[in-house]
Amino acid sequence: MFYKSWSNYLLITLSFALSSCQLPAKSMVYDNVKDLSVFAEQIKLDKPGKENTLIIFDIDDTLLEAVNFVGSGKWYNWQRGRVVHDPMGKLVSINKKQQFHCMFRTLGTLFEVGSTKLTQNNTVEIFDQLKNFDLMILTARTAKYRVATERELVKNAISLASEQLSSVKNGLDFQFNDGKRTARVTYDKGIVMSSGLNKGLVLKTVLEQANKSYQHIYFIDDSAKNIKQMKEEWQDKESIMKIFHYTKVDKTVSEKEIRESDEAKQHYHQFIKTAYPDQYEAFSKGDCN
C-alpha cells in the first residue's frame, strides 16, 4: 500500500514538473542580436496570432543611426558622463570644457539639423514584413523632438501613420511618473515618445489607456537599461514578452570623434554667442529654460 501511494505521489510530482517546464517564460531576453533579421525570424518561427501580437521597435541605434558623431546616441552618452569606451576597450571620460551648454536645448537643435541613416540595408524590408501585426515605435526621445523624428523616419521610408491603434485614433498625451521623475508621454502616428522614462512602465500605461492587451509582445532596443527595465516590468504580466538586445551599432568613442565634437562645440557656442548673446549668457550660467 505504501509503495503504491508513493508511486502515485512521484507520478503526480513528475507530471507537474514536466508540465511546468513546458510553460513558456513570461519574459525572456535574446542578447547580443547583431541583425534585425533574427528578430523577424523568431516572430516567424513562433507563428503568433496576428490579432493578439504587438511588435515594438526602438529608433536610435535600432532602426536608425546618426550619420555624424555629434548628436549620435554614443555622443549623447559621452556628453552625459555615462560609461563609454574607446575601440581598445579603455574607459573614455569627459571634462566640463568638452560638454555642450544646456544639453537638451542643444539636442533639439541637433535633431533638427542632423541626419540619420538606416542601421541595415534591409531595415525597411524587415519592418514592412511585420506590418501584418500591430506595430509600434517606442523611443526615449521627448515630444519636443517629434517633428524631426517623424521627418527622419519618413526620409528613410519608415512609416507608421497607418498603424495607429484604432482605439486611440486621436493619440495620447499625458504626464507620467515612473517612480523617479515626471515627464510628458505622447502617442501619435504609431510612435510613443517616452521622454527617457522607464519604457516598461510607459508601454504598460499606453496600452492601458488604449484599452489594448496582447498575448505576445516582441520588443527590440539597443539600450541595456531599456532591456532590463522592460524585462522587469513585464516578467509577471499575462503577455509573453520576448525582448531582443540589438548590438550591431558601434558604441565606442574614438579620439578622432572627440576632436570633432570639441571643434563643433567651439563653432556652435561661437554662433550662439554671436547671434543670440543673451541666450549664450544664460546658457553659460546654466539657465536652460
Q: Are residues 210 and 266 in the same domain?
A: no
- Please indicate, yes or no, if residue 200 is contained in any of the structural domains: yes
Q: Are residues 162 and 198 in the same domain?
A: yes
Residue pLDDT, tens place only, 125-150: 999 999 999 999 999 999 999 999 99
Q: Are residues 226 and 264 in the same domain?
A: no
Q: Which of 200, 241, 201, 228 minimizes the C-alpha distance to 31?
A: 228
Q: 229, 178 in Cβ contact below 8 A?
A: no
Given the C-alpha cell 495607429, which residue does it identify? 164
pTM here?
A: 0.88
- Please indicate, yes or no, if residue 172 is contained in any of the structural domains: yes
Q: Are residues 176 and 225 in the same domain?
A: yes
- Please indicate, yes or no, if residue 102 is contained in any of the structural domains: no
Q: Is residue 167 very low, low, confident or very high in pLDDT (cuts 50, 70, 90)?
A: confident
What's the gap between Cα 178 and its chain centre?
16
Q: Is residue 25 very low, low, confident or very high in pLDDT (cuts 50, 70, 90)?
A: low
| Residues of the domain holding 269 | 259-284
Overall domain count for the chain:
2
- Please indicate, yes or no, if residue 224 is contained in any of the structural domains: yes
Q: Are residues 213 and 190 in the same domain?
A: yes
Within the chain, where are the H helices?
A: 2-22, 36-46, 73-79, 103-113, 123-129, 146-155, 199-209, 224-234, 255-275, 277-284
Residue pLDDT, tens place only, 106-125: 998 999 999 999 999 999 99
- Please indicate, yes or no, if residue 43 is contained in any of the structural domains: yes
Q: Are residues 214 and 266 in the same domain?
A: no
Q: Are residues 157 and 192 in the same domain?
A: yes
- Please indicate, yes or no, if residue 13 is contained in any of the structural domains: no
Q: Are residues 210 and 127 in the same domain?
A: yes
Residue 126: strand, helix, or coil = helix
Q: Are residues 146 and 211 in the same domain?
A: yes
Q: Are residues 207 and 270 in the same domain?
A: no
- Please indicate, yes or no, if residue 105 is contained in any of the structural domains: no
Q: Are residues 123 and 264 in the same domain?
A: no
pLDDT > 80? residue 242: yes
- Please indicate, yes or no, if residue 84 is contained in any of the structural domains: no
Q: Which of 138, 141, 117 minimizes the C-alpha distance to 66?
A: 117
CATH at residue 52: 3.40.50.1000
Q: Are residues 164 and 195 in the same domain?
A: yes
